[in-house]
Structure 1
């Protein structure tokens, strides 16, 4: 049968429509639903707030908004020295320490042996190197012992205060036998030396993670993995949270009058600002650590 021009034209339009529909479907082979751009408005890495990052595994949290109370358990500080609150923190206020510390004598249930196997500790600081003394950002302390179950150490003693583009981060933890495992950001093949920038007026995000199943202890600075690969494998399930435990922010027992446990004088009470201390009972995935950093930059 001979087709008229009109029929040929309509047939062409139909085939073109079918072809366009087929191409459109091929561009979405899994038939995913349409996503409105408005659904992501105001979000950072898919989150509207740092509080949305692994909330079920967040076991301790300090905001320092006008008080030093740990928010999850409601635990107040036992004592502190040379501390005040500073405006313009990462979110709200921050804790300002001028050769100071904060001490918590109560054992948090979340830090008991059976509860804490893996961990992530994230915090923001404004700090300088000092050329003489180390700084303890956070210690899960063991009464009567110099080394705590977790020791989040900055080697501020290693460089002069004028050095703003390098700082050594040297976290350690204890094992069930009482030994110590560690990692740090140093140049050991195949890892180069990596460090975030620091400063008295620059907020720097430091994170340490330990994953019990793999035994990996890792360090992050401003969303970048900076720990030494050669030192990261510390042994599966090697971390041990001793009981009883206490918490010290900005120091260890040797900087607290009346609680000295050894002759070690390598640490000084912290001088600088600290904010947004978050402790998780899991090793956060890389993307979520980067999200915490980006959310902090956005003050979320």
Structure 2
């Protein structure tokens, strides 16, 4: 009888160990991380047009460009706040970041996409500069984005600037692309908004996206010319920056000191939040912009 008891006990122990092992395996499987679904064929925001990404600032407690396209930076009154993905740059009436070194990958841009998340409020008294690629020999810089002050309004008057300095020179070498009148941006204040603008140097076309949606722009904005099209002007073609010196986030080149003069009173620092600032050396396709928006919103 004792023999059968021992066999029964031994069998019970083996069965218990088997089920314990199965339960542990089940628990491990339950606790395994569930893989993300791809968005537009991408797993991570950095996978989008990866070979064309020349500059990226995440502002996770620092001012570093992870692509090393824009380096040697010094922040003035820079602070950080919770962003769309990690932390974000928090602007103020005196905040900006000055970078002394710009790589050829940024200087020699022929086409461009600029992507960023912004959260800001209406302002008055002038125009706030989100970023600028300066030009030593000109009052205006090469490439930049401004938000004009419109007072306590619900619409944003956005201006982007591109440059084409070639020999022989063209009549319309520096161009402001203005979203005014019927093309002002609506519902842009008080919440995080994903903003992407692109210029394609091959087709001479400009596009703007808000939260992944491409805006329906008239040809007067989207099609760029080197001279007056009514007088036989041809397409603007590839960008050509010149006399590039330094880079600034949150201000104008005049805020950098020499060789520029003092800033005019209307030249304001950006006072809002900014996150995931990127520069590409190509015009992103519609599906790439959508994927970038969704992936960053998903904290990827």
1:68 pairs with 2:63: yes
Q: 1:221 aligns with which of 202, 205, 210?
A: 210
4+ residue segments displaced more than 6 Å: none
Contact 1:185–1:228 (Cα < 8 Å) also in 2: no
Contact 1:137–1:250 (Cα < 8 Å) also in 2: yes
Residue deviations 1:162-200 (CA, integer Å, cap 9, x gap)? 43x42111101122138312322234xxxx535242334
Unaligned runs of 5+ in 1: 1-38
Task: Return the offset for 1:103.
Answer: 0.8
TM-score, reference length from structure 2? 0.75
Residue deviations 1:90-129 (CA, integer Å, cap 9, x gap)? 211111111211111112121233xx10010101111112
RMSD (CA atoms):
2.4
Counterpart Cα distance in 2 of 1:270 and 1:290 = 26
Q: 1:94 aligns with which of 88, 95, 98?
A: 88
Q: 1:182 maps to which residue? A: 176
Task: Return the offset for 1:298.
Answer: 1.8
Residue pairs, 1:134-149, within 5 angstroms? 134-149=127-142
Counterpart Cα distance in 2 of 1:244 and 1:256 = 13
Unaligned runs of 5+ in 2: 1-33, 225-234
After superposing the two structures, state which structure 1 stretch, 93-102 or 71-80, moved more.
71-80
Name the count of aligned residue pairs. Answer: 250
Residue deviations 1:122-141 (CA, integer Å, cap 9, x gap)? 01111112122211111111
TM-score, reference length from structure 1? 0.75
Counterpart Cα distance in 2 of 1:215 and 1:287 = 20
Call closer, same or farther: CA 1:132–1:42 in 2, change over 3 Å.
same
1:276 pairs with 2:276: yes
Residue pairs, 1:78-157, within 5 angstroms? 78-86=73-81, 88-99=82-93, 100-113=95-108, 116-155=109-148, 157=149
Task: Return the offset for 1:262.
Answer: 6.1
1:250 pairs with 2:244: no
Q: 1:9 maps to which residue? A: none
Call closer, same or farther: CA 1:41–1:105 in 2, change over 3 Å.
closer
Counterpart Cα distance in 1 of 2:263 and 2:272 = 25
Task: Return the offset for 1:50.
Answer: 0.9
Contact 1:172–1:183 (Cα < 8 Å) also in 2: yes
After superposing the two structures, state which structure 1 stretch, 116-125 or 225-234, moved more.
225-234
Counterpart Cα distance in 1 of 2:242 and 2:116 = 23
Call closer, same or farther: CA 1:76–1:106 in 2, change over 3 Å.
closer
